[in-house]
Structure formats: C-alpha cells, structure tokens
Amino acid sequence: MAARYDVILRNARVIDPQNGLDGIRDIAMSDARIAEVAPEITGSAPEEHDLTGFAAVPGIIDMHVHVSPWLGGRAGHRMLARAGVTTALDMAGPIEGVVELARDHGAGLNIACINYVRPGHTVTTTDPDVAELRDLLARSLRAGAIGLKLLGGHYPMTPEATARTIALAADEGAYVAFHAGTLATGSHIDGMLEGCELSAGHPLHMAHINSYTRGLVRPAMAEGEEALAALQAHPHITSESYLSPINATSAKCAKGVPESLQTRNWLKIGGFAPTEAGLAEAIEAGWAMLNQETEDAVVLATGRDAVAAWRARETRLGVSFMANPSEPRLRLATARGENDGFIVDALATDGGGIPRNVIVEMGLALVRLEAWSMADFVIKSSFAPARALGLTGKGHLGPGADADISVLDLERGRPKASFVAGSMIMRDGAVTGRGARLVTTPLGKEAADAAGMGGNVVALGSMLRRDSPGASG
C-alpha cells in the first residue's frame, strides 16, 4: 500500500550539502518533519506541488534581524516571509515586544530573540555587576529569549561589564551576541578587536563583521583583513556578515540628540550636526533614510514628508545610511580559511523590519558570479546559522529533520515559496503564513506556550558551539 503524506514537493532540484544531495528529487513531509527524499516518491498527499525548474533548499535562517516594537516593527514578519526566510533571530528585543508582535502579526516563521543589555533601560548603569546581569538574563530567559545582546555600538558599557556579560552567558549556557564597541573604543575595527579579547575564550556571536570594515580607522580593505585574521585567531567566536550597502540604527532622540551613538557618528560623517536638528536636516537632504512603515512593509524615505512622519512618531523610527563599502562586504562573505571553510560563518541581513532582506537575491548573485557554489550558499544561509542556534533539526533535509524548506527561482534569483513545519507560508511573494513558532529554551517554554507560539526548545549550553549540539522539536 502506497504511503500517505501531508505534503509532497515533486521534481525539485534538491540542494542539501549535509546529506550530499544536489539533484532532482521529491520531498515528502508529515507531522512537521521531512519524511522522505527520493528520486520518485510513490506515495500521495492531499497537498502536492510540482517544482519543476525550481530549487528546494533547507529553510533559510537569518540569524540577525529586528522585529520588535523598538526596532523593525510588525511589518518585519511579512518582509522576512517574502524574502524566503523560515527562521530568524531578533537581535535586540525587548523580548516581550517580540513575542507580542509575533503573536499578533506573525507570518508563520520560527522566531528566536536575544534581549538587549542597555544602560538606563534593562540595566541601571554602564557598569552593571554580575548580580544585576544575572537577574536580567534570568528574566529574559523566562520571558522566552535565548540569551542577551550587547549593543556596544549604540549604547556602550565599560569593557569590564561587557566581559562580565559574555562570561555570564557562557556560565549559564545562554546565547550572547555583541555589536562591538565599549566606552573605551567604538563601533569600528578596534572595537571588534577589543571584543575578541574581551570574550576571553567564551562562546560569542560577533555581529555583522562588515560593520567594522567601513574605513573609519584604517582603509576599509585593510580593516577587512584584520577582521578575518582576528576571527581565525579566535575560533570560539561565531560571526555573520551582510551584503546590503545600507546599515540601520535608531532615529529616536532625547533632549535634542539621537540616543544612539551610531546615529550621531554617521551624522558627523555626512557633515551634519549630531543633534535632533541635524538628523532632520540629514533626512530632508537624503543622507539619512528613514525606515517608514507602510501597510505591510517598511520602506526607505527621505525629504520633508519623511521628516514630518518622523516627528509624528515622536522620532521613534529607525534610520539607515549608505555605510558599507562593497569590497570588504564581498571579501568577508567569501573568504575561506586554511581548511577551506568560511571564516565568517553565516550570511545574515540585520534586516527583518529594516528593508534589506537580500540573502536570496545577493547570495544567488554570488553563485552566478561563481564566487561560491549553491552548496556554499546553503551552508552560509541555513546550516551554519542552525548549528549556531543549536537547531540540528534545521539546516538540512534528512529524514526526521524539521520540514522547513525554501524554494528558489535560480533563473530569476529570487524566492519562489517557503514552508515551515510542513506548512506553506509564502508563495510567489504572497504571504500565507500566520502566527509564529518561538524558538526558546526550557526556561521560556511556559511563556511560548502561553502566547500560543510553541516551537523548538533549545537546550542551554547547546548554542554557539562547534559540535552541532541538539534541540528538541
């Protein structure tokens, strides 16, 4: 008797380097998992899709996005789904807002979050002690987060407090990421090098490496080579970079100045005063591009109307600048070490609700240029992020894996469709998914279940490891 499945994808070019696959295959899914991958599946399913001419890859995981009320907003979920992403890591929080937006405005994605460490908000000072940091981490984990994010480039702390946070996360087995910069350095190559030393051998996600290779201290390409050398010298550090030319930061002002140090720095670089008035001038002139929310997306806006929209929101919007030189971006994305593995582990976007969700478009462009292979693209966009998050059910399509699949139109260089837990969440740019599945730890499972967002539960101590640790479904 022929087997019966939930969904069958037929005649796709299946690319799964972890299982040695690159060829035409059928994929069967049942009970939210991969049931069979074979040249021809003889069973049937109530839902079948003919993917002749398209590629099916393990679901794309963007390990650096923003989908919170503070940064990114509600449209981020739909923007990620349209970009072919199936799993995303919000890299700031606040966790409570991330859960609320995912619950009310989700598009079917798997969502994880690390909660921000911000003086005056989640900690009292720029030099919090271990007890205060431990309390923040415990509260964040219970609320559903998987760890903490150090926002050194925007809201720096002392080097000592930064090192304490990294060490505490290691002791507790929690995730920790760092936008490099402390009160002693800044968000540039020297800040990144300082961060490598402050990690003291503990697991750490060093965010968006290309953000430290903008030529702010030394020539951009020289900074890129320094960053690559530092990562090779600190193999305990997980890293990602993005291919978009724009950065993103906060346009929120208080007492007449932007709250973010990063925003103030980019205003000065553009020849504008690092003040609220200077930011208004920069938006009107087009140097600063406001992240303005429409009905179901965020777009970049400039000019007087954008300034008026920013004022109407009491400056509580994001802002972007053309900050990232092309040469170090491409070098960081493709650089390999002595064992032929990538030095920068993953390709991410720092996107979500920020309009630069270009993993597929720019990643496939590098394939067409033969800068890397399709297998390389899958490793950078799915397997490596899954490993960092401790999600061994993702990043590949072996039997029993999570049924997360991104379908790609290789000829046009864009996403065609995507599935999460065996359910289609996007097809031809139309978002069909609803809600979200929260990736959390055992301490956050109660919060996830209470929000109706039960998803993968990742063991503390399994993240940011190099030995591909496990997680439960």
Same domain, 220 and 358: yes
User: Which of 279, 306, 321 lies at the terminal end of a domain, its last residue?
Assistant: 321
The answer to the question of residue 127 being in a domain is yes
Same domain, 316 and 332: no
Q: What is the pLDDT of residue 328?
A: 95
The answer to the question of residue 53 being in a domain is no
204: CATH: 3.20.20.140
Q: What band does 466 get if pLDDT is binned at 50, 70 and 90?
A: low
Of all residues in the chain, the percent with pLDDT exceeding 70 is: 98
SS3 190: helix
Same domain, 303 and 315: yes
Same domain, 285 and 268: yes
d(CA 61, CA 56): 14
Same domain, 238 and 376: yes
Against a cut of 0.85, is the pTM above it? Answer: yes
Same domain, 95 and 153: yes
- Over range 367-393, report the average pLDDT: 97
Can you give the residue range of the structural domain that contains 346? 60-245+324-390+437-473
Digit-coded pLDDT (tens) for 226-276: 999 999 999 999 999 999 999 888 999 999 999 998 899 999 999 999 999
Per the structure block, which two tokens stand in for 386?
A: 């899954």
The answer to the question of residue 429 being in a domain is no
Same domain, 340 and 210: yes
Q: List the beta strands (DSSP E) in 276-402.
A: 289-293, 298-301, 318-320, 346-347, 351-352
Same domain, 314 and 328: no
The answer to the question of residue 177 being in a domain is yes
Per the structure block, which two tokens stand in for 122?
A: 């989640």
Q: What band does 345 get if pLDDT is binned at 50, 70 and 90?
A: very high
User: Which of 321, 338, 359 lies at the terminal end of a domain, its last residue?
Assistant: 321
Same domain, 231 and 379: yes
Q: What is the pLDDT of residue 470?
A: 36
Digit-coded pLDDT (tens) for 54-98: 999 999 999 999 999 988 889 999 999 999 999 999 999 999 999
The answer to the question of residue 411 being in a domain is no
The answer to the question of residue 410 being in a domain is no
The answer to the question of residue 157 being in a domain is yes
| Cα dihedral 431, 444, 467, 200 sign | positive
What is the average pLDDT score of the chain? 95
Same domain, 231 and 174: yes
Digit-coded pLDDT (tens) for 12-51: 999 999 999 999 999 999 999 999 999 999 999 999 999 9
User: Which of 298, 321, 344 lies at the terminal end of a domain, its last residue?
Assistant: 321
Q: How far is CA 315 from CA 218, 280, 311, in A?
A: 33, 10, 5
β-strands 47-50, 55-58 pairing: unpaired
Q: What is the pLDDT of residue 421?
A: 98
Same domain, 216 and 286: no
The answer to the question of residue 65 being in a domain is yes
Same domain, 295 and 343: no
Q: Please choose, from the candidates 81, 126, 84, 125, the residue with its C-alpha nearest in 3D space to the C-alpha of residue 106.
A: 81
As for how many domains the chain has, the answer is 2
